[in-house]
Amino acid sequence: MTSEELEKAFQEAVAQINKHKEPFPADFLLRLYAYYKRATNDYGSPSSKKQIINAFKTNALFQTKNISANEAKQKYIDLVNNYFLYRK
């Protein structure tokens, strides 16, 4: 997959998540968050008003520290595809 194809697939996966109306499981959201942050090179600190949520987000980011932006995009895409595949 080329960089352009990967970026397009990533943006489509993000759009699919954003248009979904039902709640997602918390562990799924944390993985999405971490992969998205890595994929977009957004290394800002979590900004929830609740410290416990920030701790979980920080931990999720820490677990993805050794993957590249392209790897994070692919993992995000795979995570989204698997979620909707097995949800049917």
Question: Which CATH number characterizes residue 72's domain?
Answer: 1.20.80.10
Give the model confidence (pLDDT) of 1-46 as tens digits. 899 999 999 999 999 999 999 999 999 999 999 999 999 988 777 7
| 1: three-class secondary structure by DSSP | coil
| Cα dihedral 25, 27, 31, 33 in deg (nearest 10) | 70
Range of the domain at 55: 3-16+26-87
Give the model confidence (pLDDT) of 44-81 as tens digits. 777 777 888 888 888 888 999 999 999 999 999 999 99
32 within some domain: yes
The residue assigned the tokens 């697939």 is 9
Residues with Cβ within 8 Å of residue 81, at least 6 apart in sequence:
13
Using CB atoms within 10 A of its CB, is residue 6 exposed (0-12), middle (13-18) or buried (19+)?
A: middle
52 within some domain: yes
21 within some domain: no
Indicate the number of domains in the chain.
1
